[in-house]
Structures are given as C-alpha cells and as structure tokens.
Amino acid sequence: MKFVDEASIKVEAGNGGNGCLSFRREKYIEKGGPDGGDGGDGGSIYLVGDAALNTLVDFRFQPNYRAEKGEHGKGSDRTGAKGEDMYIRVPCGTSIFDDETDAYLGDVNEEGETLLVASGGKHGLGNTRFKSSTNRAPRQTTPGAPGEVRNLRLELKLLADVGLLGLPNAGKSTLISVVSAAKPKIADYPFTTLVPNLGVVRIDHNRSFVIADIPGLIEGAADGAGLGVQFLKHLSRTRVLLHLIDLVPVDGTDPAENFKTIESELGRYSEGIAEKPRWLVFTKSDLLGADAATKAAEIASGLGIKNYFCISSVASEGTDALMAEISAYLQELEEQDEAGQNEKIRQEVHEFSLQKRLERRRKRQQGAEEDDDDFDVTVHYEP
C-alpha cells in the first residue's frame, strides 16, 4: 500500500433546482391559479473519518468530486427532489485546508466523524410563492443557488501515542522492531528509514499504545535539508517524544552535540512540538558494556538532564522497563486536556507547511525544478 500524507482535491456541491412557473389548466376550471413548485436543494459534500484507511493515495487517482444537483420544481405544486449528499471517506487524523486561501476548515479525527466542506445550493422558489390578493397570476420565480466549489488540501497526521526522534542511525528503527511487530528496514548507513513506521506496543492484554518511527533529522532540517522534516508534522499528534541518542556514533561525533542539534531543529520547526514531553534515551549500550552507564550519566549531567534511560535494543536491555514507564505515563495523561496545546501545534505546523509551499511555488515560477515532497512510499502498521 502506498503512503501519501498530502493530497489536493476539488469538491463541487450540487446546484439548487430552479422554481417552476406554472398555472393550473384543468377541464371546467377557469383561470386556474399558479401551481409552480419549488426546486430541490443541491447535495452537500462531507468528509467522514474511516479508521480502516491510513493513506491519502486514493485521492491521487480521483481528485474531483461533485454532488448531485437538486431537481427543478414542477407543476401541480410539486417540489423538486433534493440532491443526494456526498460522503468522502478519509483517514482519521486528516486536517483540511482551503487550497486557495489556506484557511483551516477543520480536522477529522474519529471514526464516523463528519465535516461539511461544500454546502449545496439553496432551492429556487416557484411562482406559487408569489401569489397575493393583488397579484393572482404571478410570473415570478427564482433560480436555484449554485453549490460551493472548493479546492481542498488534505494533510494526514498519523495518530500515534509516542514518537521517536533522533539523528539517522540513532537506533529508532531497531527499537520499534524490538518492542512491536513492525518490521522496518534496518541497516548500518544513514537514512535507512525513508517512511514513517508505526508499531503497536502491547504491555499486557489490557494495555497497549502506538509508537511512530520518524525518518532521522539532520542539521538544517527546518530549512528543508534531509528527509525527516517531511514527516515532522506526524509528531504533532503524539503525546510524548523519545529522543534517542547514539552512545557510539559511527561518524565519531559528540552525542551531546547531536542532542543539541535535534533540539535546535525541533524548536525551529514548531515551538508546540518542542514543548511536548520528551524523554532522553541512550541507545546501543551493548557496544560499551559496563562503561555505558557511566558515559550516559556524564552526557546527561553535562546537558542538565536528570531523568534518562540507557538501553540496548539488540540485546533487549532496558527496553521492557522503558515501555512500561511510557505506558504508565500515558495513563496519567488520559485525564489531561490537550485541546489548547494541539491547536497551537496545528497552527505552527500549518504555517511551516505554507511557507515551504510558497518557496516551492517561487522556485517553479523562476524555472527551478520542483522538489517532490510527496513521493509515494510504503507504510508499515502491524499490530
């Protein structure tokens, strides 16, 4: 299955039916009065959440949607039929924007949740509506109103409880492969992960949570460098972030400096995401053996961080305890209201995305080759 997290579509609501101009013409009825009926309302277009979907790829092949128009009114005071409403299924966690004005229209987060995106046109009035004691044979009618036409941009943000942050080769994919059934690609070179991977971590029969592996960030990511910035918006819906730091970087860099690099890029991308709860996790402790704990303590002390974890995903050391702590923490967060924080993050992510789109638009106008942010990739989501 192809994973596409942005798509543009055009929606056209149905036009309202026109009112009818008609008079009664029956045998033995002289000078029959007006009997033109009203038209029917045009059909509206709604987006509806579907938990079975996790990609916007279908909209690449079918970008245009048109609802049914209302029927015109008829004689004998018959009202035209209303146009049928159209319901378009989208994945839960989809944000909707007007692609022309960049106005935010709303989110579809829950199964069955609906959002009106284009209203059908109102019906026209038949000449019966205009009869009066002084105007017994009105010839006035009104046409149906046109339905709304909108160009929409859909942005999918994966719903995960925990997000993984870190430089390329920090051990994110290895961790998610150990604690869940997800099978991301793992190799000893940077940018092995090109797509977000989701996995379900099961603590016991009654407790589980979703963890997301986001492609690694590099310095300059907030300016478009690397791959991870394309998927950072998926972190906007996570509840806690795990910042993974390689104790023994393959390129010989300083783990503390690597930590500062990611923190800086995260803050430049979104203050709201940067303010989310983050846990520091040192990885690949098996490569240092008994010295791992000492080095982790030194780095954490230098960064002014008291609470941290030291794990080895390959050796399955410390991973169970880390997942148990996360599960307990998520249970504590259940009672907290995150609506205000989520709205702030949504606005920041939207503004960042808008800025990047405007930059690409200027490049196209200057004849530069457009960077493809929306390439098709494969998503793995295994329970």
192 and 210 assigned to the same domain: yes
Q: How many domains does the chain have?
A: 2
Assess whether 116 and 245 both reside in one domain.
Answer: no
- The domain of 130 spans 2-156
Q: Which of 101, 121, 156 is the last residue of a domain?
A: 156
DSSP one-letter code for 109: -
Find how far residue 335's CA is from the centre of its chain: 24
Same structural domain, 146 and 193: no
Our measurement of the distance from residue 248's CA atom to the centroid of its chain's CA atoms, rounded to an integer in Å, reads 35
- Nearest in space to 210 (alpha carbons), one of 201, 223, 197, 219: 201
Task: Quick: pLDDT tens for 140-179.
Answer: 999 999 999 999 999 887 767 888 888 777 788 888 888 8
Judgement on whether residues 134 and 233 belong to the same structural domain of the protein: no
Distance of CA 275 to the CA centre of its chain: 20
Average pLDDT over residues 67-96: 93
Q: What percent of the chain has pLDDT over 70?
A: 77
Instruction: Note the residue count of the chain.
Output: 383
Same domain as 170, residue 87: no
Contact at 8 Å (CB) between 281 and 311? yes
The residues, any chain, with a CB within 8 Å of residue 2's CB and separated by 6 or more, are 55, 57, 376, 377, 378
Q: What is the pLDDT of residue 252?
A: 78
Q: Is the dihedral of CA 57, 171, 345, 278 positive or negative?
A: positive
Whether residue 238 is found in the same domain as residue 120:
no
Last-in-domain residue among 141, 156, 171? 156
Q: Which of 122, 156, 190 is the last residue of a domain?
A: 156
Task: Tell me how far apart the alpha carbons of residues 233 and 362 are, in angstroms, rounded to a whole number.
Answer: 23
Average pLDDT value over all residues in the chain: 80
Q: At 174, is the secondary structure helix, strand, or coil? A: helix
Same domain, 223 and 368: yes
What's the pLDDT at 312?
87
pLDDT tens digits, one per residue of 351-380: 666 666 666 667 767 765 444 444 444 444
Nearest Cα to Cα of residue 333 among 154, 217, 192, 161: 161
Tokens of 244: 């993974």
- With residues binned 3-state (H G I as helix, E B as strand, rest as coil), the percentages for the chain, rounded to 5, are 30, 25, 50
Residues 76 and 209 in one domain: no
Per residue in 305-321, pLDDT tens?
Answer: 888 889 888 888 888 88
pLDDT at 74: 93
CB 256 within 8 A of CB 301: no
What pLDDT does 6 receive? Answer: 82
Instruction: Read off the pLDDT band of 110 (50, 70, 90).
Output: confident
CATH number at residue 271: 3.40.50.300
Residue 382: what pLDDT?
Answer: 43
Whether 225 and 218 have beta carbons less than 8 Å apart is answered as yes
Residue where the block lists tokens 């009825």: 29
Give the pLDDT confidence of 7-46 residue by residue, as tens digits.
899 999 999 999 999 998 887 777 788 999 999 999 999 9
Residue type, 77: D
Q: Phi and psi (nearest 5°) for 229?
A: -60, -25
Question: Which distant-in-sequence residues (6+ apart) come within 8 Å of 306 by Cβ?
Answer: 300
In this structure, the answer to whether residues 124 and 205 fall within a common structural domain is no
**Across the strands, what pairs with 106?**
96
> Could you tell me if 6 and 130 lie in one domain?
yes
If asked whether residues 302 and 338 sit together in one domain, one would say yes
Q: Are residues 209 and 322 in the same domain?
A: yes
For residue 78, the domain's CATH number is 2.70.210.12
Give the count of beta carbons closer than 10 Å to the beta carbon of residue 26: 9
